[in-house]
């Protein structure tokens, strides 16, 4: 008896909730879902991204919205959890009836929401899922998945071009983290681009994550003649390699990927050792482009702090989707998907880009230069 009562109660509750959702549909608004890591392990990525997104959406609404319709965003916290991210994506698509879902920030969680996007035919877009395989698999491109950040291994290509063109390097040494796919992809792309451009990689050395003693490989490469050192890896080991290399008197420029972009790099290497070090980044607050300076100003006014690259990518992500909705001319998700795929020369604050056939942006990389331990220069390296 009690059981039947419980089931009836649950059914009633569910129906009320569903009815509530249906009732709140409004003809004069466009709904966008936000599915980000607001708490949990990578909360700092998610929070910054959402700050950037909300800033962009507010600006659009203040400027009159899209075709007289205002944007309403529905924001959920996936707690940095993949399965939670998938559940929330489904909820946004089926109950909240959004036209697109923004986020999550990390590649793993974003990938987990893509099957839902394909099933419900709703666009999902991420600002910071950089893993190479996010938007494509063996069956080709995933039609409803987009990202606006360059891929991990693309940075290898960009840094090779930077070494060849900006530093006029002809000989390079690669010291890679052999325990991460991220680093291996970067090293492969760097080597092929560098050698295709007339350079030569004279030595490739490897380490595994967690190593602390790099003196042996540094002494080994010291015997070679080279112009630059490329270290695909994260700051934990890269910081120590830079310190030990500078200690042994290697003063060639050192290049790295976005894994260098953490304050811990300075602590581990020491400010004295961090000279002539360059790493690729999505965004630099040193950028003197007027649109970037405008963004930094309004971000500071709203949140009282400097934007980081996630905030910048979040801002661009929201603007990218808004641009797609405008060009699609309707709120049909399929039209939106086609409009986003045809994006050409979108002007964002992380650089202007067009979508390639794999739903990856073709965009410039920002190369940040470090002098005396501080980010001192920034320049854009085009493809």
Partner 1 sequence: MEQLLQQIINGISLGSIYALIALGYTMVYGIIKLINFAHSDVYMLGAFIGYFSMTTLKLGFLPSLLLSMLFSMILGVVIEKVAYKPLRNATRIAVLITAIGVSLFLEYVTMAIAGANVRSYPPLTGILTESFNLMGITITMQQILIVTITVVLMILLQFIVKKTRIGKAMRAVSLDSDAAELMGINVNSTISFTFALGSALAGAAGILVGIYYNSINPLMGTLPGIKAFVAAVFGGIGIIPGAMIGGYFIGIVEVLVSGYGNSMYRDGVVFAILILVLIIKPSGLLGKNTREKV
Cα dihedral value 57, 58, 63, 68, nearest 10: 60
DSSP per-residue letters across 327-343: HH-S--HHHHHHHHHT-
223 near partner 1, rule: CB under 8 A: yes
Least distance in angstroms from the C-beta of 229 to partner 1 = 15
Interface region with partner 1, contact rule CB under 8 A, candidates 86-94, 143-151, 211-219, 375-383: 211-219
- Contact 5/13 with Cβ under 8 angstroms? no
Query: Which of positions 35-64 make contact with partner 1 (CB under 8 A)?
Result: none
Tell the residue number behind the tokens 């976005």, with chain if given. Answer: 258
Query: Which of positions 134-193 make contact with partner 1 (CB under 8 A)?
Result: 178
201 near partner 1, rule: CB under 8 A: no
- Contact 290/264 with Cβ under 8 angstroms? no
Pick 160 or 217: Cβ nearer partner 1: 217
- Contact 359/135 with Cβ under 8 angstroms? yes
Gap between the Cα atoms of 98 and 123, Å rounded: 9
Least distance in angstroms from the C-beta of 369 to partner 1 = 21
CA 308 → CA 203, 211, 227, 261, 312, distances in Å?
35, 29, 31, 10, 6
Check whether the bond before 112 is cis (ω within 30° of 0).
no
List 239, 257, 261, 333, residue binding partner 1 (CB under 8 A): 239
Query: Which of positions 242-281 make contact with partner 1 (CB under 8 A)?
Result: 243, 247-249, 264, 267-268, 270-272
Gap between the Cα atoms of 322 and 65, Å rounded: 9
Pick 220 or 300: Cβ nearer partner 1: 220
**Which residues make beta-bridge pairs with 59?**
none
Residues that contact partner 1, how many (by CB under 8 A): 28
- Contact 293/316 with Cβ under 8 angstroms? no
Least distance in angstroms from the C-beta of 45 to partner 1 = 16
Both structure tokens of 270 = 């020491």
Coil, helix or strand at residue 323: helix
Interface region with partner 1, contact rule CB under 8 A, candidates 15-23, 59-67, 205-213, 292-300: 205-213
215 near partner 1, rule: CB under 8 A: yes
Interface region with partner 1, contact rule CB under 8 A, candidates 136-144, 163-171, 202-210, 330-338: 202-210
Least distance in angstroms from the C-beta of 251 to partner 1 = 13
Question: Which residues form the interface with partner 1 (CB under 8 A)?
Answer: 178, 205-208, 210, 212-213, 215-217, 219-220, 222-223, 236, 239-240, 243, 247-249, 264, 267-268, 270-272
């Amino acid at each position: 008896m009690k059981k039947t009562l419980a089931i009836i109660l649950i059914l009633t509750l569910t129906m009320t909730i569903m009815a509530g959702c249906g009732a709140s549909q409004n003809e004069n608004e466009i709904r966008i879902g936000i599915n980000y890591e607001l708490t949990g392990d990578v909360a700092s990525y998610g929070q910054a991204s959402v700050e950037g997104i909300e800033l962009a959406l507010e600006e659009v609404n203040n400027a009159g919205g899209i075709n007289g319709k205002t944007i309403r965003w529905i924001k959920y916290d996936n707690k940095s959890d993949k399965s939670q991210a998938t559940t929330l994506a489904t909820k946004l698509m089926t109950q909240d009836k959004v036209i697109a879902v923004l986020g999550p920030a990390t590649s793993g969680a974003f990938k987990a929401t893509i099957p839902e996007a394909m099933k419900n035919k709703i666009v999902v877009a991420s600002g910071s899922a950089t893993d190479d395989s996010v938007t494509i698999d063996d069956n080709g491109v995933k039609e409803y998945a987009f990202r606006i950040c360059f891929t991990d291994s693309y940075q290898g290509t960009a840094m090779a071009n930077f070494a060849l063109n900006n530093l006029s390097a002809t000989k390079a040494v690669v010291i890679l983290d052999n325990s991460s796919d991220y680093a291996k992809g970067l090293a492969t792309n760097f080597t092929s681009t560098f050698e295709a451009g007339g350079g030569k990689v004279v030595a490739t050395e490897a380490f595994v994550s967690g190593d602390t003693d790099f003196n042996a490989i540094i002494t080994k490469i010291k015997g070679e003649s080279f112009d630059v050192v490329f270290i695909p890896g994260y700051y934990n080991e890269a910081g120590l390699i830079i310190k030990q290399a500078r200690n042994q008197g290697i003063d060639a420029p050192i290049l790295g990927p976005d894994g260098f972009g953490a304050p811990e790099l300075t602590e581990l290497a020491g400010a004295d050792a961090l000279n002539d070090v360059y790493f690729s980044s999505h965004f630099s607050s040193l950028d003197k482009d007027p649109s970037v300076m405008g963004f930094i100003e309004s971000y500071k006014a709203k949140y009282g702090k400097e934007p980081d690259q996630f905030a910048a990518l979040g801002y661009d992500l929201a603007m990218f989707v808004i641009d797609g909705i405008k060009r699609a001319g309707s709120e049909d998700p399929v039209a939106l998907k086609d409009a986003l795929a045809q994006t050409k020369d979108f002007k964002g604050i992380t650089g202007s880009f067009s979508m390639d056939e794999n739903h990856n942006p073709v965009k410039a990389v920002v190369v940040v230069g470090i002098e005396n331990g501080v980010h001192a220069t920034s320049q854009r390296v085009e493809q």
